[in-house]
Amino acid sequence: MRAFLAAEIDEELKEKIAEVQEQLKEADAPVKYVEPHNLHFTFKFFGEIDEDKSEEIVSAVESKVQSYSPFEISIKGVGLFPNPRYIRVVWLGVEDSGPFSRLQMALDEDFQKMGFKKERSYVPHLTMGRVRGAKNKDALLTKIDELKEVEIGKMRIEKLLLKESVLKRDGPVYTTVNEFDL
């Protein structure tokens, strides 16, 4: 299965995120926006894994989350990856991201021991859209700059989810395979 470890977004915040996406759409840039029901924070994208690897991941996450308590995050600020000259991803950030980053780094150490590539950075972010070309890039950059301080709201991360991603013609379909309470 194609899998990733994630945290869900509170339903009431998804509406605010959709409003930000609508503002970004005014730039008329070629961006594939994430559907509100698919919005999440990714802790780790695993790619294709077999059942043995899935069991290994479940065991590692169950063990690691026992040391962590639920924590609050504040979703704030639009940004982009990798840089303004070549935009691939438009995202929302996390203010005071210490607990989020610490958990992500601790999990990533275990995942690296399983043979997964180490994350380059631990910048907690919520992908809102993937840029598909350079058309109207300046207008998109202007919108991103206008929204760099936008405040979405606070939420508690109380559990992580191992999700399966099935790619369909009209977008990915995510199914929860395991839940891990903090």
Active site residues: 40, 125
Contact 36, 18 (CB under 8 A): yes
What the block records as the tokens of 33 is: 């926006």
Report the alpha-carbon distance of residue 139 to residue 65 in Å, rounded. Answer: 42
* Helix residue ranges, H only, the chain: 11-25, 51-65, 98-113, 137-146
Q: Is 146 exposed, middle or buried (0-12, 13-18, 19+ CB in 10 A)?
A: middle
